[in-house]
Structure 1
Amino acid sequence: MPPDAVFDSVGSLHDGLSESEARVRLERHGPNVLQRVSDEGPLKLLWRQVNNPFIWGLLAAASLTIALGKVTDSLIVARGGGGRTRGVGDCGAPGLAHCMCAHGPGASAT
């Protein structure tokens, strides 16, 4: 559908509504906001955010590394592997990128 046909179908112009037309539509239809139904508490909201296959995979990986005695690895998995790590031979690349650094082991990024 061409843009002009869309503007005609909704009763608008390319530059938007005039102030008087906007006022009339606001009174007729009300503000352009969604009604929020707050029937879920904070625990239910947290569950909806955590109930995700990727989160379950990360939790499983962290649990497995703890079970194998690799506590440091599990902390990296639980943290998401992001952030800036500094270790012996680290060139200063962010996160775990120093493992494949083009500068070579022990090199400095500066």
Structure 2
Amino acid sequence: MVVCKCRKATKLYCFVHKDPVCGGCICFPEHQICVVRTYSEWVIDGEYDWPPTCCFCQAVLEEGTSPQTTRLGCLHVMHTNCLVSHIKSFPPHTAPAGYICPACSVPVR
């Protein structure tokens, strides 16, 4: 565990800013498209691709641009409209728990 700037204990680490981030601070604009993983993943391998890409359409994500982004529970980032398209691609009878991340297949919820 590491301590976020807001003094909360967390396992998450921003690879870009090299700072611990908690679940609340990850929503701040400065971390909107950052590569965020666990601190232990940073210690093992701190390499990451920059600039990040949408895990659905593979377009480069840029800070402050018009398309909004959404960070999934698995910490992948994608355009919000890509997330909506991805969810609509599932059969209509799919329960929300059946929606998965296009990059890692972890449930979205």
Q: TM-score range by the shorter chain?
A: under 0.3
Question: What is the TM-score of this pair, normalised by structure 2?
Answer: 0.22
**Higher RCO (CA 8 Å, separation ≥ 6 residues):** 2
Question: What is the TM-score of this pair, normalised by structure 1?
Answer: 0.22
Going by fraction, where is strand more abundant, 1 or 2?
2
* Larger CA Rg, structure 1 vs 2: 1
